[in-house]
Structure 1
Amino acid sequence: MNNFGRIEILLATVMLSLGIGVAGYFVGQTLYNAKVGINTAEVKGLAEKRVEADLAHWQIRYTVSGSGTTPVSELYEKSEADRARIVSLILESGFEDAEVSPGVIDYEKKEFRDDKQTLVEERHELVGSIDVETRKVRLVSEVRSKLNRLIAQGLDIQNDAPTYHFTKLNEIKPEMVKEATMNARVAANQFASDAGVKVGGIRDARQGGFVIRDVGEEYGDTKRIEKDVRLVTTITFYLTD
């Protein structure tokens, strides 16, 4: 065999060895990655906190009506007088001017006709509204009951139920995320202990949305002052021997 043939055989041997080595590396790397992927535990962490609403919205509507012969100007004067009495009671009870916003007075003319479309009666109706937006959430229910005095005096008032809102979620987010993460690790430790392994670092974490619900309610977050805030996080931990 000449020198040229020996060189060809040598090069072929070297290339074959390199190919086997590279293939072995990728197979080994694949097995390692598969092992890392398998040795994980996905758990959920829960955090809950009881809070109180810090903002209330409350609307009062009042109505003045009269027959078709009643001058509308007189009805407007009475409507404005009723509004003044309602606002005065609200302010005297502890609310500030900036928290009380009287709205416009809406006017509607109603006609009542018989089967032959003959006009039987006309009525004028004026409906006004007063909006209260306040941080004094506990005061709202107290003042609502006081409006009954004006109703007893003849005012036509619709005392709508207030809505209560919690607006300080950003202030409690870090604490709740930390608590949920800690609870997730507790669950992972229990899982690892049962499996005879240990919990390592975090491979992946997904934060769920914050859910606010009125205490004792499955749905809704505006009826009660007391509310529950809930957060569930999903975390995948590495498991080590």
Structure 2
Amino acid sequence: MNNTPRYLLLPCMIIAIGIALAGFFIGNTLYKSRVALNTVTVKGLAERRVDADQANWKINYSVSGKSKSDIPDLYKESESNKNRVLDYLKKGGIEDGEIRIGVISYSSEEYRNEDKVLVDERHTLTGVIEVETTRVSIIEAVRGTINELMVEGIDITNNPSQYRFTGLNKIKPEMLKEATKNARIAAAEFATNSGSEIGRIRSARQGGFTIIDVGERFGDTKRLKKDVRVVTTSEFYVDN
């Protein structure tokens, strides 16, 4: 049995109808706003082929002896070999400011027979010379001939050189502009095919820049030529 006084029924009904109508209008407004928001999301690509602008190269040189007592003489020989390597680099056009001389490291190995008796030993001094330059092409030229020092009796390790592109910030703005332009072209083509027109941009998201050696799937230090790539994601309004 309903105990609600009759004089309260009419106000309650009015409030309930008001709430229902408010919910309808709010829901209808949201629905219409979604329908009216016609957009298309596309990706834009920009690519550049660039040259490495920095090169790094390490050369190791080693001397060895069979006794720890040989170390003083080994050190003198190591210093002589270091100077010969430096002379070769400078004759090849590499400048003092592009060369860094590392410390000499010492290592030893012992060889024992089955009875644990020492039968041989080896003591080695290894030095390192590092070259860093923005004159990338000169590294290729000198590195291609430095093995001639081996013929002169110097034990060197001609490590692979590394080539880097450091000018990304200089080309970023133009690449982003190009990627956004290409995204608009893709959006316009979509709109044309659907009988619409592309409007202004609603939002844009920048992907990360990637630098890859030409001809490689990953890595950016092996080759002089690099491919720089960026993809942007843009959302455009579409006018029917």
Task: Give TM-score scaled by structure 1 length.
Answer: 0.89
Instruction: Provide closer, same or farther for how the CA distance between residues 69 and 198 of structure 1 changes in structure 2, counting only shifts above 3 A.
Output: closer
Letter in 1 for 2:114: D
1:131 aligns with: 130
Instruction: Provide closer, same or farther for how the CA distance between residues 114 and 13 of structure 1 changes in structure 2, counting only shifts above 3 A.
Output: closer
Alpha-carbon offset, residue 70 of structure 1? 5.8
Residue 171 (1) aligns with residue 170 (2)? yes
- Counterpart CA distance in 2 for 1:113 and 1:12 is 102
- Counterpart CA distance in 2 for 1:135 and 1:205 is 36
Instruction: Provide closer, same or farther for how the CA distance between residues 31 and 121 of structure 1 changes in structure 2, counting only shifts above 3 A.
Output: same
Question: 60-69 or 147-156: which moved more?
Answer: 60-69
1:30 aligns with: 30
Alpha-carbon offset, residue 20 of structure 1? 7.1
What is the number of residues matched between the two proteins?
234
1:77 aligns with: 76
- Counterpart CA distance in 2 for 1:210 and 1:122 is 52
Report the RMSD for the aligned CA atoms in angstroms: 2.2
Alpha-carbon offset, residue 29 of structure 1? 1.9
SS of structure 1 residue aligned to 2:102: strand
Alpha-carbon offset, residue 159 of structure 1? 0.2
Letter in 1 for 2:115: K
- Counterpart CA distance in 1 for 2:53 and 2:172 is 16
Superposed, which structure 2 residues align to 1:119-198 within 5 Å?
Answer: 119-198=118-197
2:44 aligns with: 45
Instruction: Provide closer, same or farther for how the CA distance between residues 69 and 202 of structure 1 changes in structure 2, counting only shifts above 3 A.
Output: closer
Alpha-carbon offset, residue 32 of structure 1? 2.4
Gaps of 5+ in 2: 1-7
Instruction: Provide closer, same or farther for how the CA distance between residues 59 and 36 of structure 1 changes in structure 2, counting only shifts above 3 A.
Output: farther
Alpha-carbon offset, residue 27 of structure 1? 3.4
Question: 107-116 or 14-23: which moved more?
Answer: 14-23
- Counterpart CA distance in 2 for 1:103 and 1:160 is 15
2:4 aligns with: none
- Counterpart CA distance in 1 for 2:22 and 2:147 is 88
Letter in 1 for 2:32: Y
Q: Deviations 1:204-224 (Å, cap 9, x if unpaired)?
A: 211100010000111111100
The list of structure 1 runs, each at least 4 consecutive aligned residues, that deviate by more than 6 angstroms after superposition, is: 8-18
Gaps of 5+ in 1: 1-7
Q: Any conservation in 1 of the 2:66–2:123 contact (CA below 8 Å)?
A: yes
2:216 aligns with: 217
SS of structure 1 residue aligned to 2:79: helix
- Counterpart CA distance in 1 for 2:86 and 2:194 is 68
Task: Give TM-score scaled by structure 2 length.
Answer: 0.90
Question: 17-26 or 146-155: which moved more?
Answer: 17-26
Residue 101 (1) aligns with residue 104 (2)? no
